[in-house]
Chain A
Amino acid sequence: MADVDREQWLHMYEQMAKIRAFEEQVNELYTSAKMPGLAHLYIGEEAVAVGVCEALRRDDYITSTHRGHGHCLAKGAVLDKMFCELLGKAAGYCRGKGGSMHIADQDTGNLGANAIVGGSAAIATGAAFSSKRLGNGRVAICFFGEGALGQGVLYESMNMAQLWKLPVVYVCENNLYNEYTHHSESTAGSMKARAEAFGILAVEVNGQNVGEVHEAAQQLIARARRGDGPAFLLCHTYRYHGHHVGDISRAYYRSKDEEQEWKTNRDPLQSLKDWLTANGMADAGIFEQIERSVADEVSVAVNYALNAPFPAPEEVSQHVFA
């Protein structure tokens, strides 16, 4: 396991618990018709965002996807501004103009969630280009689902990243499905070999094991920071909920048994709990305490957001140009 002390392990657990509690609250907001638009829940995949972001500095960059709440929170976003953005409130990260699929936060190096599948591959690569040019030592992480492996711009970006030795790590979250289609129907050949064809170092991990993700991420990020070029981190994971909150009847593309198997035997939070307990670093009391404080934080934040004002009408035409 990664070179991580007890305090960091517990911090990672807390981050995962925060993402899960946030997402459960989002699900509730949505199903009680308090949230406009769409929400793509990250529940089940928490170990990927947390394992990777724990290896980053605050000024490192990330780009994210339509399923981006976990990445934003793991990179340091705060709950109240997240809820405000999801509810379209003026105090949100993007003044309510981005919503769930476009959260960006310059202060935490978050260059934005992107609703175009594969849409941020080149942007993350451009951020890595800046880092190298400006010599500021920052690394860029490009999170994307395995569905983005079908998009050409990803390969164009990888080609340039390797040619120019850019400090970018492409993190592929293989949660098995591109919307309602299993990856075996959309992605030919080996996922890892796609990066290897460019000479990019590719590493494959169990995305449900935060320690494993973190250890690999640390190595690849350190390597990128040293100037040794891009890497590809393939994380095998699973989303517990539907593609988006409205995707309730899923039998036509995946079985209840499959869902149950991942939830009970491969849950990233439970796995970390079990491991920490077995290694004598924590006990049930500690986890309960973390969960309670996270739940409190979430409820304070969501209440704040529910009561926060919407943007003023004049805002509609502001920020078209910088």
Chain B
Amino acid sequence: MSSPSANGRELTFGEAIKEALAEELRRDPRVFMLGEDIAEAGTTFKVLNGLVEEFGPERILDTPISEPGFTGLAVGAAMTGLRPVVDIMFGDFSGLIMDQIMNQAAKIHYMSGGKLKVPMVLRTTMGAGRRSAAQHSQSLHAWYSHIPGLKVAVPATPYDAKGLMKTAIRDDSPVIILEDKMMYKTVKGPVPAEEYTIPLGVADIKREGTDITLVATSSMVYVALEAAQLLDEIGVSAEVVDPRTMVPLDKQTLIESAKKTSRAIVIDEGYEQYGVTAELASVIADGAFYYLDAPVKRLGAMNVPIPFSPALEDLTIPNAKQVFEMAKVLCGKN
């Protein structure tokens, strides 16, 4: 892992995000946040608790339930001198805001021949596993990644979440950050107290290995790490690579890792059909073809609306056992 020493300081995923936002709000008076129930309530997930006390309701702004309206308002505000951070409670509401994001935010810089800029951040959630059913469980980062003009980050650790958030806020292009809602409280990790940022477009090797590359995004990093543990026990050394940002994509690190190990599986929580796994697998297949001992495999969410019943929901998301079994076959260990 690439994190510099945090001297034992640990934050949860949610705390790291809040710390990034607080630092940027303090650093730059143009930064402000808007979304539903983000001020006193600190969001549905309580991630922003306390920010309104420090920065006031002018900078931590509760909006009406009007996702297209306030997302578009942020686009206009970003074009005219402010640096908004929009909070969309559930990534599933992306359908509502898509015009503002894909036709407006993503295209304005290009359509204006570089004259106008849209320095905004859109934070939203992804991830199944909370028994929230089909309209509150999707991971739609592939949608955003499909549109030229948007940068897309899917951090997996508190360290990455903080560093990527700070960079995103300082970026002059629209950046979408998708946060796994299951990780806000459950994931804890080292975060140094001193200032740092992480550039967009640099993958991180979460675990070194020599026999197979597991490319994993967001919460799937933990699934991959668990699978790597299982593989260790049968003498297979797995490398876990986290691209961290979908756009820009650090193709080189993915390709180099696959060249080194000669096998690769791509694991992502978005729907498998036409999804992120297809893109990443194709990057590896193309860039490391002559080094590969097996076809690149992929594992995404099942192509079904996420069901409510725990008995069913758990079947839809990739798990460590599946990754382990797939890796075993690829490595000829069955």
Contacts and interface: CB of A to CB of B under 8 A. Distances in A.
A and B found bound together: yes
Interface of A: 61, 63, 92-98, 102, 104-106, 111-112, 114, 116, 119-131, 133-134, 140, 152-153, 156-157, 159-160, 163, 318-322
B111 A160 contact: no
A318 B72 contact: no
7 contacts: A93-B113, A95-B114, A102-B112, A104-B115, A125-B69, A129-B77, A322-B114
A106 B108 CA distance: 12
Nearest to B68: A153
Contact of A119 (B70, B71, B104): B104
B231 to A, nearest CB: 38
B113 A112 contact: no
Interface in B140-183: 148-149, 151, 171-173
Contact of A160 (B73, B110, B149): B73
Nearest to A319: B114
Nearest to B172: A322
Given A134-B81, A320-B110, A322-B172, A111 B117 contact: no
Interface of B: 32, 58, 63-64, 66, 68-82, 99-100, 103-104, 108-119, 148-149, 151, 171-173
Contact of B64 (A96, A131, A159): A159
Contact of A133 (B79, B82, B109): B82
Contacts of B66: 156, 159-160
A94 B68 contact: no
Task: Determine which residue in B63, B72, B76, B111 has the highest number of CB atoms from chain A within 10 A of its CB, and name it.
Answer: B76
Contacts of B172: 321-322
B173 A322 contact: yes
Contacts of A97: 110-113
B64 A163 contact: yes
B69 A157 contact: yes
Task: Determine which residue in A61, A124, A125 has the highest number of CB atoms from chain B within 10 A of its CB, and name it.
Answer: A125
Contacts of A126: 72-80
Task: Determine which residue in A105, A112, A159 has the highest number of CB atoms from chain B within 10 A of its CB, and name it.
Answer: A112
